[in-house]
């Protein structure tokens, strides 16, 4: 679906300033999908229903998808080929840069970031602007692997996830952590570099939750299961947890 921004936003009047690599959007309450071409890389910005993008956020430099009910807080940056899943919330000043996929219902505390792109270090200068000012070919970046974040993942305040990392469903990354290795589903990690701290649930419950995969449920089914979502699962057996689900 490709329409003019003004036709989709109706009475909302965002300030949209495109550069050669990113869009700067100032709006709130966006509830439509649209795509806009940039000057250089022709990125596509696809927005689902009930998406909120707050003031000062920068989106572009690749193909960006914001799924239904996503919230992008004030002064966030999404640059590259970025997909953000349903119901995921970026609070403020978050950076998601590079080839990154984020699952559903994740929570990013302020200033937590995902940095899939790195500077190359094998040329004389490390500064991209230096090469631009001299009209040289762009500084080559490092050849990095994508970042994949599962659903129901919590990134704490000032946490940073680097290239090639995979974080499993339900994992927790502590504040100010630097994540350089994969994180298992429902694992709690912290530190610089991030290391194992513990598990959210015992192994049997972790396996059950991966089997249930509640983050894939429809909105209707989620709303029908208040008892499940308001229960301390550490006090229940797997059988008791299954019995809670409608």
CA dist 159 and 156 (Å) reads 6
Structural domain including 68 reads: 5-201
At 171-200, the pLDDT tens digits run 999 999 999 999 999 999 999 999 999 999
| Pair (149, 224) in one structural domain | no
| Residue of 2, 13, 119, 242 with catalytic role | 119
Kindly list the distances between the CA atom of residue 102 and the CA atoms of 12, 65, 81, 96, 106, in Å, as whole numbers in the listed order: 28, 10, 11, 10, 8
pLDDT, averaged across the chain:
84
Select from 166, 182, 201 the last residue of a domain: 201
Say if residue 42 is in the same domain as residue 93. Answer: yes
Residues 146 and 134 in one domain: yes
Indicate the number of domains in the chain. Answer: 2
| Catalytic residue flag (residue 169) | no
Residues 78 and 145 in one domain: yes
Instruction: Indicate whether 216 and 124 sit together in one domain.
Output: no
Both tokens of 71, joined, read 């919230």
∠ CA 212-216-221, nearest 5°, is 80
CATH at residue 144: 2.160.10.10
Query: Strands 15-18 and 23-26, how do they pair?
Result: antiparallel
Do 149 and 230 share a domain, yes or no?
A: no
State the pTM of this model: 0.81
Q: What is the pLDDT of residues 128-184, one digit of tens each?
A: 888 889 998 888 777 689 999 999 999 999 999 999 999 999 999 999 999 999 999
In the prediction, which pLDDT does 43 show?
61
Are the CB atoms for 165 and 183 separated by under 8 Å? yes
């Amino acid at each position: 679906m490709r329409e003019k921004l003004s036709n989709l936003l109706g009475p909302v009047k965002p300030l949209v300033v495109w550069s050669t690599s990113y869009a700067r959007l100032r709006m709130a309450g966006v509830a439509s999908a649209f795509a806009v071409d940039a000057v250089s890389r022709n990125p596509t910005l696809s927005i689902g229903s009930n998406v909120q993008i707050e003031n000062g956020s920068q989106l572009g430099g690749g193909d960006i998808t914001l799924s239904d009910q996503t919230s992008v807080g004030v002064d966030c940056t999404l640059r590259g080929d970025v997909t953000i899943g349903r119901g995921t919330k970026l609070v403020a000043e978050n950076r998601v840069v590079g080839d990154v996929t984020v699952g559903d219902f994740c929570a990013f505390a302020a200033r937590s970031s995902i940095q899939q792109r790195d500077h190359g270090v094998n040329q004389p200068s490390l500064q991209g602007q230096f090469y631009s000012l001299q009209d040289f070919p762009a500084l080559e970046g490092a050849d990095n692997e994508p970042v994949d974040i599962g659903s129901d993942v919590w990134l704490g305040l000032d946490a940073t996830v680097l290239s090639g990392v995979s974080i499993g469903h339900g994992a927790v990354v502590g504040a100010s952590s630097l994540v350089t290795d994969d994180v298992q589903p429902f694992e709690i990690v912290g530190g610089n570099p991030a290391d194992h701290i513990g598990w959210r649930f015992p192994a049997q419950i972790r396996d059950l939750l991966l089997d249930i995969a509640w983050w894939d449920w429809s909105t209707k089914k989620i709303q029908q299961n208040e008892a499940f979502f308001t229960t301390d699962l550490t006090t229940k057996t797997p059988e008791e947890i299954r019995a809670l689900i409608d």
